[in-house]
Amino acid sequence: MTVEVSKVYLLDVATGEGVEAELRDAIEQAQIDDWAKHWIPVVLAAIQDLVARQVPRADWPQSLHWNWPKKITRVQGMLAFPGFSVVAQGVTQGLAQLDLTRGCQEPGQKGKPLVYVEYLEVAPWNRSELGATPRLRGVGTVLLTAAIALSYEEGFKGRIGLHSLPQADAFYRRIGMTDLGPDPACQNLRYFEMTVEQARAFFEKEEGR
């Protein structure tokens, strides 16, 4: 399999400078190795901190228990479940796994195919909700933009959907996605969808930056 690599830019929060990064249209062994070697120790430290601060478990970021090797093994070689990764400064900065088998829920586009973002996670050192100042900004936006671009490439006209973890609800509203409310079929997480028009507006805004 040939992996397509695109050049993207992230923001180094400490210096305010742009950082060159690779957007790769796959999640490979190197990403799984980075997850085990670099992400997990930071996640474990964050969990220890949450316990020490007696933060109720219900308020912990839900993605802390995500096991990427398991997620990737489950969909290995399956056309319907592509993945993306962002690599910068020699290490994986974010991962996304998508599902192309689902249909839209938003009344104006119900039943039409979309790119469903099954999992999207940025490296723990880039997440402000884990306590420290993030190192790099823009990883989640790069991955979401890749999902919308894939939707165009597949002929789905930019339509994407996802169930949001509570700490990300405001972000998805801010970028213009339609909030279809809590979904009892998915742990009551809020379901967001991007329409053809919203995708066009999203790209026009991104290009204007």
Residues in touch with other proteins (CB under 8 A): 2, 4, 25, 78-80, 100-101, 109, 111-113, 153-157
The nearest distance, CB 120 to other proteins, in angstroms, is 20
Q: How far is the CB of 26 from other proteins (least distance, A)?
A: 10
Whole-number minimum distance, CB 107 to other proteins, in Å?
A: 14
Distance, in Å, from the CA atom of 20 to the CA atom of 8, rounded to the nearest integer, reads: 6
Cβ nearer to other proteins, comparing 60 with 152: 152
CB nearer to other proteins: give 42 or 180.
180
Query: How far apart are CB 178 and other proteins at their closest, in Å?
Result: 17
Which one, 152 or 171, has the nearer CB to other proteins? 152
Q: Which residues pair with 84 in a beta bridge?
A: 96
- State the minimum distance, in angstroms, from the CB of residue 199 to other proteins: 13
Nearer to other proteins, 12 or 154 (CB): 154
Q: Which CB atom, from 13 or from 75, has the smaller least distance to other proteins?
A: 75
